A and B are shown apart, each in its own frame.
Chain A
Amino acid sequence: MTLFAPYRKDPEPVTEHSSPRFESPDSVRKGLASVAYLANEGIAGVVFLAERLGKPVLVEGPAGTGKTQLAKSVAEMTGSRLIRLQCYEGLDESKALYEWNYKKQLLRIQAERVTEAAGETWSDIEEDIFSEPFLMTRPLLEAIRAEEPVVLLIDEVDRVEVETEALLLEILSDYQVSIPELGTVAATQIPLVFLTSNNTRELSEALKRRCLFLHIDYPDLDREKEIVLTRVPGITDSLADQVVRIVRSIRGLDLKKAPSVSETLDWARTLVLLGIQSVDAATATETLNILLKYQTDIDKAAKDLAAPSSQR
């Protein structure tokens, strides 16, 4: 009985992949721009390589700089299905890979005993409870079983424990999973894999070695302006320009948490909603709470904006 479509008795690691999806780093950049993601040369270059080399990308950087969005946008651009594994502390194999539905299994056994159904041997039951209906597929297995192109997003990988990280590494090395009761499942195609990290923990050397590394920092002025123009409907060029320059200025302060791209966008949207054409110091100060999350940061920035000729 073959439960899994891409089932192979003697699996070989997949190295071949179908014709490349991207022609050049620049075509990646353009493709992403067409789905409203503005990449720089570094981002485009690494995505391009990831596809060519069949290697996962470890994306790191401050909060809200478009790490998660990158995986989503690549999926959208390539018309792939996005499979997301959201990591958290305590995530383990049973939530990441697969799990036998043991409650269902227990109840099934229990039911057996109660009704004392004749003729069924233990081995019948065993075969039954370790079959597809009792299997709960989790994102990693799902990505491997997928026959259509997928993008696998392993989000916030720095939150998992070291043991789970080892599991990820294993899967990202062979793209196959062995389930003792059922056999080995190997991928028919290598998915594009993105792992994001907020760098709250040093990831293992082995995992880092396996991945291409991409650090996404706050975008430079021009790129952030493009992002604002693309993502905020109805904003004028001059307001967008002012917004990103003020944000850059605030990022230059010594803050607990600098404004992220998503906060820049929130701020820009608010200004548009308020019908503001041009930001002055007063408006900026009044709306700082959208840009900054900590009161100490807000106070600091307000003080700084009030002192116009400050030299840093």
Chain B
Amino acid sequence: MDGTELSLPPGSSAGILESVSGFVKELRNAGIPVSLTENLDAVEALRHVPIEDRDAFKYALAATMVKNNAHWKTFETVFEVYFSLQGRRYQISGDGGSDETEDLLNELVGSPDSDGHGSGEGLTQEQLAEMLLRALMDGNDSMLRAIARTAVTRYAGMEPGRPVGGTYYLYRTLRQLDLESVMAKMLDRAKDANTDQSDLEERLTREEFEHRLDALRREIEAEIRRRLVADRGAEAVAKSVRKPLPEDVDFMHASREELAALRKAITPLTRKLAVRLARKRRHGRKGPLDFRSTVRHSLSYGGVPADPRFRYPRPSKPEIMVVADISGSVAAFARFTLQMVYAISSQFSRVRSFVFIDGIDEVTDYFKGTEDISAAIQRINTEADVIWVDGHSDYGHAFEVFWDKWGRDVNPKTTVLLLGDARNNYHAAQTWVLAEVAKKARHMYWLNPEPRSYWDTGDSIVGQYAAHCDGAFECRNLKQLERFVEHLG
């Protein structure tokens, strides 16, 4: 026990409570902060929801314990793992329950028994494919759930105790179902049914089908997960599906999917940051009393200073120069940092940006006249002139050129941000450049997407550069990056 011993609320079974405490433990393991009060609130909330209402049960847990929408996906996965099976054992209905259509299919295919074996002999593969196609065309959800169950039984080849992850089974099932050709068939049928579909209609139909196929994939995934839980227990499965929360995903090792999630997460984050900084700036709010103005206004109250006035101080804005390595390994990091800096560019009198690999190019203009920062970054990747010799990072050379071309623009109002892992491929470091820049600039900071423990190992020379900076920061994920950028404004 972790000290959160909970008393048994009347009206709920001990089994549920036990699962809730395991569930909360796993939420915490997955990185979602759940306080003791919130845990107690959840238990209290469960007293009020009808136990057979699975949605209400789920939302009661979410509303009391998950207070950040970015954590919702993680919550859902953990919920699935902990309550999909318990659900049935403890009569939390849902997941199709016993539905007429499902009964029908079960009759057709032979009932899949509870431990997930047998069944399906009644139908040929072609018949099943045809049923699937029809169910998809009709958007028949309960039929699709039943088919997903049967497909897993037939195609996943799950064996008890086999130490294989869910992805493997998912892959096997999907390969047999061949959803790409299913999609093609669906489109054909839709066309046959309505010969004079406009382009727009056709496109909307396609998108609708894509949504249905996604739903089917998720259903298959869920079914596999349920069976894994039955086989290995919730804890083991929860552990195997655990993923970092978006704000903790490492820039350097993000998968495609994670990068997509990051791109989504960064927009609200930058918006928040911008508002926060704008507020901070305006926040000289209650400055000292403006005596003259107060007296002037007191005249309308017969000389009573009824309306005191204050001064509003306005600090001057810094100018930012971003110098970013955009070679393969650190490209994503540079992208997110630029995106963040530009999102708050109104906090600065000016932002100039320079990108390099072994050659360096100013890309400030790419950001001019467009509000679409991601499109600008796209263009930079394809158009900027950043390769000098071989396209391997050469910090020393890039810095030298920077100094020659733009060094005179650095002034006491400039804050310089240097972005990269400082892996210099054993080229000359040219640290003197940074020494010179530091002399002229107001501040200079190094941001490194690598974990601190890797710094100055192998060809990393971040220590040599950092010696001339006002600070060097580890920025491996959105959380760290945000924290740094916030201090900048």
Residues on A facing B (Cβ under 8 Å): 24-26, 41-42, 45-46, 48-49, 52-53, 55, 57-58, 60-61, 89-90, 102-103, 106-107, 110, 161, 199-202, 208-209, 211-215, 217, 221, 242, 245-246, 248-249, 252, 254, 256, 279-281, 284, 294, 296, 300, 305, 308-310
Residue B67 CB within 8 A of the other chain: yes
Which residues of chain B (270-305) have a CB below 8 Å from chain A?
271-272, 275-276, 279, 282, 285, 301-302, 304
For the complex, give the distance between the alpha carbons of A41 and B57 in Å. 10
Nearest residue, chain B, Cβ from A294: B371
CA distance A42 to B198 in the complex (A): 37
Q: Within the assembled complex, what's the spacing in Å between the Cα atoms of A202 and B479? A: 13
Q: Do residues B306 and A102 form an inter-chain contact, with CB atoms below 8 A?
A: yes
Given contacts A58-B67, A107-B304, 17 further A-B contacts (CB under 8 A): A25-B56, A41-B56, A42-B55, A42-B59, A48-B48, A53-B48, A103-B301, A161-B279, A208-B67, A209-B35, A214-B63, A215-B72, A217-B69, A221-B211, A305-B200, A308-B199, A308-B203
- In the complex the two chains form, what is the Cα distance from A71 to B204 in whole Å? 34
Could you count the A-B residue pairs with CB atoms below 8 Å apart for me: how many are there? 128
Which of B36-44, B156-164, B442-450 binds A?
B36-44
Tell me whether A48 and B56 are in contact in the complex, defined as CB-CB below 8 angstroms, given that A201-B272, A254-B374 are known contacts.
yes
Please tell me if the beta carbons of B275 and A201 are within 8 angstroms of each other in the complex.
yes
Partner of A46, one of B63, B285, B307: B63
Q: List 20 A-B contacts (CB under 8 A).
A: A25-B55, A46-B59, A49-B48, A60-B69, A102-B306, A103-B301, A107-B301, A202-B272, A209-B37, A211-B67, A212-B64, A215-B69, A245-B204, A246-B204, A249-B203, A252-B207, A281-B200, A296-B371, A309-B202, A309-B206
Residues of A with C-beta under 8 A to B41: 53, 55
Contact A281 B272 (CB under 8 A): no
A293 vs chain B, min Cβ distance (A): 11
Query: A residues within 8 A CB of B245?
Result: none
Asked if A280 and B198 make an inter-chain contact with CB atoms under 8 angstroms apart, the answer reads yes
Q: Which of B49, B282, B285, B304 contacts A25 (CB 8 A)?
A: B49
In the complex, chain B residues whose CB is within 8 Å of the CB of A200: 271-272, 275-276
A201 contacts across to B, CB distance below 8 A:
272, 275-276, 279
CA distance A90 to B59 in the complex (A): 34
Q: Which 4 residue pairs of A and B lie closest in terms of their CB atoms, listed nearest first?
A: A308-B199, A45-B59, A41-B55, A200-B275
Q: A60-B69, A201-B272, A296-B370 are in contact. Are A49 and B302 (CB under 8 A)?
A: no
Per the bound structure, the CA–CA distance linking A54 and B367 in Å amounts to: 50
Q: How distant is the Cα of A243 from the Cα of B56 in the complex, in angstroms? A: 30
Interface contact A296-B203, CB-CB below 8 Å: no
Verify B302–A213 contact, CB threshold 8 A.
no
Distance in Å: Cβ of A165 to nearest Cβ of chain B:
13
Q: Are B301 and A41 in contact (CB under 8 A)?
A: no
* Chain B neighbourhood of A280, CB < 8 A: 198, 200
- Say what secondary structure dominates the interface of chain B: helix
Complexed CA–CA distance, A116 and B55 (Å): 71
A82 to B59, CA, bound (A): 26
B272 A24 Cβ-Cβ under 8 A? no
Q: Give Cα A248 to B49, complex, Å.
A: 32
Task: Known contacts A49-B63, A308-B202; decide if A209 and B38 are in contact (CB<8 Å).
Answer: yes
Query: Within 8 Å of chain A (Cβ to Cβ): is B18?
Result: no
Q: Are A106 and B200 in contact (CB under 8 A)?
A: no
- Measured between beta carbons, the chain A residues less than 8 angstroms from B275 are 200-201
CA distance A48 to B53 in the complex (A): 13
Q: Are A279 and B200 in contact (CB under 8 A)?
A: yes
In the complex, which residues of chain A have a beta carbon less than 8 angstroms from the beta carbon of B207?
245, 248-249, 252
Question: Closest chain B residue to A60 by CB distance?
Answer: B69
Q: Which residue of A lies closest to B65 (CB)?
A: A213
CA A296 to CA B56, docked complex, whole Å:
41
- Asked if B441 CB lies within 8 Å of chain A CBs, one says no
Partner of B44, one of A53, A110, A214, A296: A53
Q: Nearest-CB distance from B117 to chain A (Å)?
A: 33
B301 contacts A49, C-beta separation under 8 Å: no
Take A45-B56, A58-B67 as given contacts and tell me if A296 and B48 are in contact as well, using a CB distance cutoff of 8 Å.
no
Pick from B35, B49, B199: contact of A49, CB under 8 Å: B49
* Cα(A212)–Cα(B206), bound, Å: 38
Q: Decide yes or no: A103 and B306 within 8 Å by CB, A53-B44, A60-B69 being known contacts.
A: yes
A310 to B207, CA, bound (A): 10
Q: Which residue of B lies closest to A246 (CB)?
A: B204
Interface residue B85 (Cβ < 8 Å from any Cβ of A): no
Please report the C-alpha to C-alpha distance between residue A46 and residue B55 in the assembled complex, in whole angstroms. Answer: 11
A245 to B53, CA, bound (A): 30
B214 at the interface (CB under 8 A from A): no
Which of chain B's residues have a CB closer than 8 A to the CB of A199? 268, 272
Q: With a CB–CB cut-off of 8 A, which chain A residues contact B208? A: 245
Kindly state the separation between the CA atoms of A249 and B201 in the bound complex, as whole angstroms: 11
Return the chain A residue nearest B35 by Cβ.
A209
A242 CB contacts on chain B under 8 angstroms:
204
Residues of A within 8 A of B64 (CB): 49, 212-213
Considering the complex, give the chain A residue whose CB is closest to the CB of B303.
A110
Contact status of A256 and B371, CB under 8 A, knowing A49-B49, A53-B48, A199-B272: yes
| Contact partners of A256 in chain B: CB under 8 A | 371-372
CB distance from B234 to the nearest CB of A (A): 23
Could you tell me the distance between the alpha carbons of A85 and B258 in the complex, rounded to whole angstroms? Answer: 39
- Looking at B35, B64, B302, B371, the one whose CB has the most chain A CB atoms below 10 A away is B64
Give CA–CA (A202, B276) in the complex, Å: 9
A53 touches B59 (CB 8 A): no
In Å, the complex CA distance between A200 and B280 comes to 13
Inter-chain CA distance A55–B203, complex, in Å, is 45
- Name the residue on A nearest B198 (C-beta): A280
- Residues of A close to B206: CB separation below 8 A: 309
| Cβ-neighbour of A310 out of B59, B203, B282, B372 (below 8 A) | B203
